[in-house]
Amino acid sequence: MAGKQMKSIRTIAATAPAEQARHLWLAGLGALSLAQKRGSELFTRFIEEGRDLQTRTVTLAREVGADTQAQAMGVFTPITARIEKQLAHYGAAIEYGLERVFASLGIPAKRDIEDLSRQVAALSRKLKAAK
């Protein structure tokens, strides 16, 4: 087989330039004829391949998006919990500091006022019951 190809290449190379041009012309016409005969069949196959590729691409994009979202949530969940814990700690520290400042100024704390409100409510109930 390789010998025949080499022989035909040598034959083409040995021929005159006009003959080479004629062979190229005929090869071009042959390619055009095959494209016309099989063109609609190839076009249909291209459409099918395009649909298949589009389906695979959309599926892959959805999978990658879901994986990325899952990984992002895995990263942010511990960070969010840690931030919430630190905020609670800082909030308690600020509240304690404010209570100390208010106590030094003679201003009662919120829980002191709530205790007094409960005691007043209890005494009011006792007075109503005694009447």
Range of the domain at 66: 2-130
Cβ burial of 102 (10 Å; 0-12, 13-18, 19+) is middle
Model pLDDT for residues 53-108, shown as the tens digit of each residue: 889 888 888 888 888 887 777 666 777 778 888 888 888 888 888 778 777 777 77
Number of domains the chain contains: 1
3-state secondary structure of 106: coil
Q: DSSP letter for 15, please.
A: S
Amino acid, res. 117: S
What single string gives the DSSP state of each residue in 42-75? Answer: HHHHHHHHHHHHHHHHHHHHHHHHHHHHHHHHHH
Average pLDDT on 41-61 reads 84
The residue behind tokens 């998006």 is: 65
